[in-house]
Structure 1
Amino acid sequence: MKESEKGIHPPRWAERFLCWYCKPELLEDLQGDLNEYFERNIKSKGVRKAKLIYIVDVIKFLRIYTLRKPKFIDLLIQWIMIGSYIKTSGRSIVRNKLFSTINIIGLAISMSVGLLLIGLISDIRSYDQFHQNKERIYRVTSNYQYLDHADDTYFASTSPRAGQLLSESFTGVEDAAVMYSGADDDIKTTDDKIIPLKGFWANASFFNVFTFPLMEGHAATALKEPFSMVLTREAAKKLYGTTDVIGKTVTLKEHDDQPYKITGVMEDVPVFSHLQFEMLISFSTRAITQ
């Protein structure tokens, strides 16, 4: 090819049209043949006529076997096959009613059990995951040994004094939250409204160890003084219809109507918490009342 002919190319729009309609597996060979024929025609028939012949050849190759398959064709075939499978399955079920019924019931039971197990495992793994220090929180349990029993007895709780003892005896203990059950009581407001609430005794370190955000009050001091109390949002609304209750006093029926000062309001306890309560009473109160 002469130097003047090297920059001559087939019509761009014809090349794009060929790429648009031709199957990918045929395109490379077809383009090669057309380009080779185009170069020969330039030498023998001139540029203008060679381009015209190239356009005609591109149109002539527009055949059913060279056309790209539209994407919707594959989707249509899939839907047709699905319909065929459904019909075949339906006929098989009708012909083998007993066998099909047993299979369907077995499949339903196995799927139900599988879903229940997935839900159960998901719930178990979700508990107490909201605590910021969850990887560093450990629960102290007890192991009681009796002289007349061969087996040991394990409890999920221990003496309230263990918290202070562990903090003093082990340098690795950063803080110790002490809780004690049995604080459930009927709460009486100053306007004689009585509401039963579930609660725990808890020391001042409770909010340092666990992540239960306070809406009102200070976490460091809310449970420090005797006869102080922290309510959840829902409990505060039960008693007063609002969360603006800091400084108000209530009395506990089982504690000789001793007045308690509300020093904090916290967010409601999450569902996935194994600690469920509506109020916390300062642990220092227990040393006085018990």
Structure 2
Amino acid sequence: MEGTLPSRAPVIRDDALLRATRRRRLASRLVAHAALILGVIIVAFPIWMTLVGSTHDAATIGRGDVPLLPGVHAAENYAIAWNEGGGRTRTTPASTMLLNSLLMAVLIAVGKIVISILSAYAVVFFRFPGRMAAFWAIFITLMLPVEVRIIPTFQVIVDLNLGNTWAGLVVPLIASATATLLFRQFFLTIPDEFVEAAKMDGAGPLRFLRDVVLPLSLTNIAALFVILFIYGWNQYLWPLLIINDRSMETIVVGLSKMIGRGDSQNDWNTIMATAVLALLPPVLVVALMQRWFVRGLTETEK
């Protein structure tokens, strides 16, 4: 009949399909968020228990009766850990170990970056016999695990009388085939026009490195610094072998020595306080350099 409205059945079907699509999207988001929240809980719960344990007395933790809320002994535990050391044996104070670890991590990160930049710069921008052979010799070291290299490296350090020295602790760890490879790949993306323009301006190799290559590499340097700082901070086996002087002990090695062997009773409150202090510097470095770190990993425009 003329003047009648068209059927609304297709509209109803479209609305039902739209609502079903929205429900599926909402369900998928809920599942994804639930998985993320579960992952955060699994990762964060041990850290939270360490933080809570550092605020209670040794008797409470010794009974296995650690509550989920902080206690009232935080200031006392952290003061003991900072000034006297943790554990029943009262190892090196956490303040000394943190300073040693900080110095070691910074020296390792800076040394790796400097050597890697220079070696990658030489491989990419200079033409000399054996250039690629030198690069592949560096690259092949990636295939050698640390355990294979640590015995001959230790023997070299002993023969040079570098035990219990900062040179013996840092120098064997500052060469990095991975960083060299990453900088080489980045330097290959620098346009040849930059090189030609620098030559026309009379810039030598060092000036080209300082005025062109390094400014372009800042984000990559920042990202690598974060990774290499954490690598240096977490070193355990090499400092354990090289350092016998307690005044040079690092925080990771010191934490392992705080835990007694056999049936000895541990002061878990000061041990946990020291563990929390050991977490702070890497967390601060990542938090302060997060923007540069992300840009260094994701930025593609050169």
Greater relative contact order, per chain length (Cα 8 Å cut-off, separation 6+): 2
TM-score under structure 1 length normalisation: 0.26
Task: Give the number of the structure whose alpha-carbon radius of gyration is greater.
Answer: 1
Structure with greater strand percent: 1
TM-score under structure 2 length normalisation: 0.25
Structure with greater helix percent: 2
